[in-house]
Amino acid sequence: SQQGEEDPQALSIQEGENATMNCSYKTSINNLQWYRQNSGRGLVHLILIRSNEREKHSGRLRVTLDTSKKSSSLLITASRAADTASYFCATDLNDYKLSFGAGTTVTVRA
Amino acid sequence: EAQVTQNPRYLITVTGKKLTVTCSQNMNHEYMSWYRQDPGLGLRQIYYSMNVEVTDKGDVPEGYKVSRKEKRNFPLILESPSPNQTSLYFCASSLGDEQYFGPGTRLTVT
């Protein structure tokens, strides 16, 4: 069953703006990961945040995790056309399974 | 180059004709997994394997079989494909938390 749900389903922004998307999940997790998928291609791992971490940065990416609210957010700063993709959160329940949400489709307009 | 490969990339077949989608990784990963991706549903896990000769069901295993006779290979077998198995399939491998995805196999069953 799907553990994570992303919000919004779709997001359209101007190049240079920030993009924020959220992920909510249902049960306790070991870690939460974000992946990017360019149209019709395989997923690429972006960043992982563990259950005892609250915030993590990687380049233009910032991820937060609030385990009390069972939610996470992914912020992409200073967006570029190349950031146009679908973004998925995946929760690791520590049972060797990743549970993915349905994704947020981000379109960056030039 | 470290990678996960899948073959074929595209396949159109008819109901009931057995098929195999191959997956191979060159990273010596112990963990491998198969997912299917359908619009609005994100990725759903079909089967996973912790190591050679160790496999287990994911969330949607019905109609699929897998085998893990060698560490690098994890084929997905559809003994009698049906139209509801039309989907985009991804193989992934992992050494720890992060999963590495193959490029995908687009399967159409008519």
Question: Which pLDDT score is estimated for A93?
Answer: 77
A41 touches chain B (CB under 8 A): yes
Provide the chain A residues 71-90 that lie in CB contact (below 8 A) with chain B. Answer: 88
The H or E element that residue B110 is part of is none
pLDDT grade for B103, boundaries at 50, 70 and 90: very high
pLDDT for residue A2 is more than 60 = no
**Shortest CA distance from B5: residue in chain A:** A42
**In Å, how far is A24's CA from the nearest CA of chain B?**
14
Average pLDDT, rounded, for chain A: 92
Q: Please state whether A96 falls in left (phi above 0), alpha (psi between -120 and 50) or beta.
A: left
Which pLDDT value is given to residue A5? 85
| A78-88 pLDDT per residue, tens | 999 999 999 99
Contact at CB, B106 and A98, closer than 8 angstroms: no
Given a cut of 80, whether residue A60 has pLDDT beyond it is yes
Does residue B74 belong to the interface with chain A, where contact is any CB pair within 8 Å?
no
Residue A95 pLDDT greater than 70, yes or no: no
